Amino acid sequence: MTDTVRVAAVQQPPVFFDREATIERACELVETAGRQGADLVAFPESYVAGYPGYYTPGPAADADEQSAYLLALQESAVRVPQDVEPLAAAADDSDVVLVVGCNERDQRPGSETIYNTNLVFDSDGTLVGRHRKLVPTFTERLYWGRGDDTDVVFETDVGRVGTLICWENHMPLARAHALHQGETFHVCNWPGSWGTGERYLEAERSTDCDCYPAIREQAFSANAFVVSAHAVLDPADVPDRFHALFESECGSLEWACGGSCVVDPFGQYVAGPVFDDRTILYHDCDLEKRQLAAVEFDQPGHYSRDDVFDLQASNRDDVVSSPDSPTPLSDLTDEDVALVSDRLEEDPDRIREILGALADVREDRAYQ
């Protein structure tokens, strides 16, 4: 790892709801950033293949249009890792660490759930991390399931890269979990920039958007450089069949107006924010700034007070769509119950009763 790392925040539109075309565009943008000397490249939230929440179906929406939109989201979602192999190759070819947002399709048999996911590729193309947004924000719950993992910081060739998606950067425990793992860089991504209060979901082309205090605070608290990638999108980027949706009272592209920036470990803007422009924002990060910032405020170190506070994170590996996932309680066989019964010297019926109670608790917790 060198003393200076060039970061790049991509502020370019996807090919909306077209997975293959968006991945092809992303690869071209990675190549462009690589030619400009970038070491770390970050894309906006759910870049592949578009943030769906600019349109919110509901009672006022046309049922047929709503169904077509939801099906298009499903069909353009990615399967990991098979659909993202071109992104891995692009990271490898350009020798960059890559963080890209996507709509990820659950691969458990029978499931059609979509997750809002950030993928992290190392500079050799290895997929080193996948973070699913823990809580879809407000009406986003129409599109995405709740994330089921707590992996937020990953070891890469440019250092430890942490990532949180949109309003996860307002979640104190998620932010603390990231910064206490010693982030060198924190990548956050957003669907644009918006107003607050009565101006919620109107465009806000200034740092009055609620995202910017969170960006600066994470940089200062973690002694990290924050690379914040914000989406841009206008009607010309959307298929004709969806224009009526975004022109209705249920949709708006107004706040897909960018706002990408880079903030240093002192919490100061060193690049951007840039609004509206379709660009790639670059900054050369001097890693000595992290050391200087930590002299004053070392939250992962002398300011942590681990003797007073204890933060625990629980990975929900039981529901991650992975071939290595543990067997759900409901799938335990009679032979499994017999083994537990013998080991604990307990009646098999009592074991089944306990397992049933545990399964009920897990199901209740999933819907809380």
How many of the other CB atoms lie within 10 Å of CB of 182?
Answer: 17
DSSP state of 326: P
SS3 state of residue 271: strand
Q: Is 133 a catalytic residue?
A: yes
The answer to whether the beta carbons of residues 179 and 221 sit under 8 Å apart is yes
Nearest to 123 by CA among 38, 228, 21, 28: 38
DSSP state of 158: T
Distance CA 314, CA 317 (A): 9
DSSP state of 203: B
Point out which residues pair with 102 in neighbouring strands: 48, 117
Distance CA 167, CA 66 (A): 25
Enter the tokens of residue 259.
């706002």
| Active-site residue, selected from the candidate residues 45, 65, 140, 168 | 45
DSSP state of 82: G
| Active-site residue, selected from the candidate residues 133, 183, 211, 261 | 133
**Phi, psi of 129, deg, nearest 5:** -165, 155
| Active-site residue, selected from the candidate residues 27, 102, 166, 209 | 166
234-265 in b/e form (b: 16+ CB < 10 A) is eeebbeeebeebbebebbbbbbbbbbbbbbbb
Query: Alpha carbon of 202 to those of 131, 199, 252, 292: distances in Å?
Result: 28, 5, 9, 38
Q: Is 45 a catalytic residue?
A: yes
CA 208 to centroid of chain Cα atoms? 23
Nearest to 227 by CA among 68, 363, 100, 76: 100
Residues with catalytic roles: 45, 133, 166
